[in-house]
Amino acid sequence: MAFTNGKLSDIVVVSAASTVGIVTVAGNKKVYVRSILCHAPGVGAAASATAQVYIVPNGGSVSVNTKIFDVDVNAGETVLLEPIYPIVIDATGDKISVGAGTSTINFFITGDKEA
């Protein structure tokens, strides 16, 4: 089985109080999420921001039931979310969504995809 390695997304900027789908499974090809970088560029009045990560099944929606991370990020700082074992999503339409609570957050996801 062949894999493509490296980034799973470009840098995605998520505005305060928004969520965005960032990685979606296509053709039942497994996606292995190895790390998620969350950076708070300090845009807006908030001294810190809240970053959320969700695993959303096909046809599902972002909610407290699909949230896997909810972290505070101080303005100008970066948080690395790196699970001990990669997060695997494998059904067509399943996705990783990310959200920003109180201020803008930049996200970057690395990992592998089945080719």
Does domain 3-114 correspond to CATH entry 3.65.10.10?
A: no
Mean pLDDT (whole number) for 39-59: 87
Predicted TM-score (pTM) of this structure? 0.92
Supply the mean pLDDT for the chain. 92
* Euclidean distance between CA atoms 27 and 87, whole angstroms: 18
What percentage of the chain reaches a pLDDT higher than 70?
92
User: Does position 45 have pLDDT exceeding 60, yes or no?
Assistant: no
